[in-house]
Structure 1
Amino acid sequence: MQSGYTHLFIPGPTNVPEVVRQAMNVPQQDMRAPDFAEFTLPLFEGLKRVFKTTNGEVMMFPGSGTGAWEAAITNTLNPGDKVLMSRYGQFSHLWVKMAEMLGLDVICVDVPWGAGVPWKEYGRILGADKDDEIKAVFVTHNETAAGVVSDVAAVRRVMDECFHDALLFVDGVSSVASVDFRMDEWGVDLAVTGSQKGLMMPAGLGILGVSQKAMAVSKTARMRRAYFDFEDMVNINRSGYFPYTPPTPLLHGLRASLDLLEREGLENVFARHARLAEGVRRGVKAMGLDLVAEHPSLMSDTVSAIRVPPEVDAREVLRIAYEELNASFGSGLARLAGKVFRIGHLGSFNEGMALTALGLAELALVKAGAKVPLGAGVAAASSYFAEGAQSGLRLAAE
């Protein structure tokens, strides 16, 4: 029997802060009560600030980010519509699969897992689409499987350069509330996230940001939907209520989560994620290991996908970490299975957790047969964090 804490270093569900967990420990309440809106309406406004939208609508569907994916598609597109997508990891792959299952005509650009969204190729394809047959462009902002972040602003730029009127869909499940996301500035029409990542809650809420352009399109879109219908949701949300029973404990958790984010300040949240991610990356490099991301500009600030040495099976590293060290790391998914393990460093995460993750990763790797210098990763990350602490002290003194 293991003693002490169970360490959770997966990229979602992330660690739930104690204040959020306690906020969800509430008795059931009347979701039709006359004062319910006093509680819920500020939640929508708080989520708008997280998405950085003033003009868009924000919706919360009981479900996961995958449910929000489906809501985005079924409310704004028609069977047979041509859409532009790309695959550079398991989650972008699954979005393509969903689009095909829902009857869309997918133009799919495949790039290596470790690359980002092929925005230059998007520009070429959109530029050749003289009749605007392509109705939507899809981007996975942060590909969790590969630890890769993509340039959404660059996609918007090539769309504008082509004067293309397609809707811009963005999967922000593992980026929203952790790294900078600018819905209005980037012209994102449908932004998808979930409660279990940067919002530091259990899974259970699929959250959507929807532009007014997308709302207008939804009024004529013919794809079948019922539970996920935008019109029903928005019309009733405006008065602070829901068209069906909402998960009220999760809404209380969301209140506590938004309070934490606003107290820290979103820009400080983004800076913290960048700092912690860089510490983890330096630790990985000191171990002599590589990340899946092909270039530093693509390295995610929320999850690092780490390649194990050729003679080591990453599944054995994961097993040892879980069974012997009381720690969970993210597994390599699909074509990366056995080749990669992942450290999630998003949400409620700090320097001590980063150092613990690196130390346990080193130990699991050595036990699995990897020739990793014990302590090297922790030392490199500690040195980096100490440099930041000293800089902070100098600034405070000045």
Structure 2
Amino acid sequence: MTVRAGREFLAIPGPTTMPDEVLQAMHRPALDIYSREMVELTETLLAELSKLFATKGQSYIYIANGHGAWEATLSNVLSRGDKVLVLESGRFAIGWGSAATAMGADVEVLKGDWRRAIRPAEVEARLRQDKDHKIKAILAVQVDTASGVFNDIEAIGKVIKECGHPALFMVDTVASLGCMPFEMDKWGIDVAMSGSQKGLMTPPGLGFVAASDRAREVHKTANMRTPYWDWTEREGPEHYRKYAGTAPVHLLFALRQAVNMLLAEGLENAFLRHRLLAEAVRRAVAVWAEGQVLGFNVAEAHERSNTVTTVVMNGNDPVSLHRYCKEKCGVVLGVGIGDLQGQAFRIAHMGHVNAPMILGTLSVIEVALKALDIPHGKGGAEAAIEWLGESVGA
């Protein structure tokens, strides 16, 4: 017996649910890739990506996922043997650092904790030790989708500046761009990257990089550069070089529509929507945690992200919960990954998401907890409803 007929709900942190308008935008013939229309599509998207990153710097579009965009950032500003400092707060900065190691960098990890955010004071202490300025780049993520942590990128940028350290500050915004405030220039970030499949509501397959003037100056002498990722190659006069070949036309149609929708909503409104819905999720999890089995992975409330919540099950196997939600009710939860594999589930609340989607997901989880006799505090979904009722004005 199931109650899952109808559209399946994706509550995973990427790829996220795509708006019907974005799907429809792709349902059209390909463009002449040498046409003025194609050139204008690229030019407007690059300009608006820089607006999303909040930078006057140059943006680039790659036919790649986030892992490809990692490689694009590294190869354009590093030389083999350069020392890179990775700020750990979960799986993804570590993964970025592993890519740097494979490419020939000397990587050091500033050890962190999957249950807390990066501590700016620890970053400052390490940089002050580096009196010879051997560290050439610092890698951090704004939101780690494995741990669910939010890192205060503004505060980290401030301590780097106060130290007077010349390392490039590089930030992964895959799970935050378009969902949470990000100020590349204001916060002293030299290189930022993101992907299409989360807050930007577009199919997987596009990676984005933004570079400051300082990063582009370092780029001139970087010896990790390869033809596909190279910024200089992409700045040539021929339009096709901006994609190192044939443009991903239909993904660009999708991105154009998604960005239109995001800008029509207004970035500040999108940030507020994400904050309200994230807090609704957190209110529900806090109630469920009263049963002493479920709990937040991220210990400090102010370090929990507005795009994904990671819920640990304290010795209980989450597989049965995943299976019940998907097979019985049609809701797909994120699984625990990395160090949290088999210990947690994740609730995404990013991108094309609204109150009924979140409340429906929370209610299904509560149904599953009851059906599976998993101890939990009662009334989690009701707590989420109360929060939204108090916070969303008439």
TM-score band, normalised by shorter chain: over 0.9
Correspondence 1:302 to 2:307 = yes
CA contact (8 A) 2:13 2:349 kept: yes
Question: Which of 6, 9, 12 in structure 2 is aligned with 1:7?
Answer: 9
What is the rounded CA distance, in whole Å, between the counterparts of 2:346 and 2:37 in structure 1?
44
- Aligned residue identity for 2:391: G
Q: Deviations over 1:202-256 (max 9, x none)?
A: 1010011111111111111011412111111133488995431111111111111
What is the rounded CA distance, in whole Å, between the counterparts of 1:380 and 1:175 in structure 2?
25
Q: Report the counterpart of residue 381 of structure 1 in structure 2.
A: 384
Q: Report the counterpart of residue 61 of structure 1 in structure 2.
A: 62
Q: Deviations over 1:179-210 (max 9, x none)?
A: 00001101111101000011001101001111
Q: What secondary structure sits across from 2:206 in the alignment? A: strand
Residues 344, 236 of structure 1: CA spacing in aligned structure 2 closer, same or farther, 3 A cutoff?
farther
Q: Deviations over 1:83-138 (max 9, x none)?
A: 11122212122112112111211121222212112321111111111111110011
What is the rounded CA distance, in whole Å, between the counterparts of 2:235 and 2:162 in structure 1?
32
Q: Report the counterpart of residue 21 of structure 1 in structure 2.
A: 23
Correspondence 1:347 to 2:351 = yes
CA contact (8 A) 1:41 1:240 kept: no
CA contact (8 A) 2:240 2:246 kept: no
Paired residues in the alignment total 388
Q: TM-score when scaled to structure 1? A: 0.94
1:62-141 mapped onto 2 (5 Å cutoff): 62-141=63-142
How far does residue 355 in structure 1 lie from its aligned partner after superposition? 0.6
CA contact (8 A) 1:87 1:111 kept: yes
Q: Report the counterpart of residue 341 of structure 2 in structure 1.
A: 337
Q: Report the counterpart of residue 40 of structure 2 in structure 1.
A: 38
What is the rounded CA distance, in whole Å, between the counterparts of 1:230 and 1:74 in structure 2?
10
Q: Report the counterpart of residue 47 of structure 1 in structure 2.
A: 49
Question: Which of 298, 317, 320 in structure 2 is aligned with 1:293?
Answer: 298
Residues 335, 366 of structure 1: CA spacing in aligned structure 2 closer, same or farther, 3 A cutoff?
farther
Q: Deviations over 1:343-373 (max 9, x none)?
A: 0000011111111111111122333431235
1:170-185 mapped onto 2 (5 Å cutoff): 170-185=171-186
What is the rounded CA distance, in whole Å, between the counterparts of 2:51 and 2:238 in structure 1?
17
Q: What secondary structure sits across from 2:164 in the alignment? A: coil
CA contact (8 A) 1:236 1:242 kept: no
Q: Deviations over 1:21-57 (max 9, x none)?
A: 1011121121112432122211111111111112x11
Correspondence 1:321 to 2:325 = yes
What is the rounded CA distance, in whole Å, between the counterparts of 1:381 and 1:169 in structure 2?
36
- Aligned residue identity for 2:217: A
CA contact (8 A) 2:158 2:188 kept: no
Taking only aligned residues, the RMSD between alpha carbons, in angstroms, comes to 1.6
Indicate the larger mover: 100-109 or 241-250.
Answer: 241-250
Q: What secondary structure sits across from 1:330 in the alignment? A: strand
Correspondence 1:228 to 2:229 = yes
What is the rounded CA distance, in whole Å, between the counterparts of 1:236 and 1:318 in structure 2?
50
Indicate the larger mover: 297-306 or 103-112.
Answer: 103-112
CA contact (8 A) 2:236 2:242 kept: no
Indicate the larger mover: 240-249 or 92-101.
Answer: 240-249
Q: What secondary structure sits across from 2:236 in the alignment? A: helix
Q: Report the counterpart of residue 253 of structure 2 in structure 1.
A: 252
Q: Report the counterpart of residue 396 of structure 1 in structure 2.
A: none
What is the rounded CA distance, in whole Å, between the counterparts of 1:169 and 1:237 in structure 2?
29
Structure 1, unaligned runs of 5 or more: 394-398
**What's the % identity of the aligned pairs?**
37
What is the rounded CA distance, in whole Å, between the counterparts of 1:31 and 1:247 in structure 2?
10
Q: What secondary structure sits across from 1:29 in the alignment? A: coil
Residues 70, 373 of structure 1: CA spacing in aligned structure 2 closer, same or farther, 3 A cutoff?
same
CA contact (8 A) 2:83 2:135 kept: yes
Q: TM-score when scaled to structure 2? A: 0.95
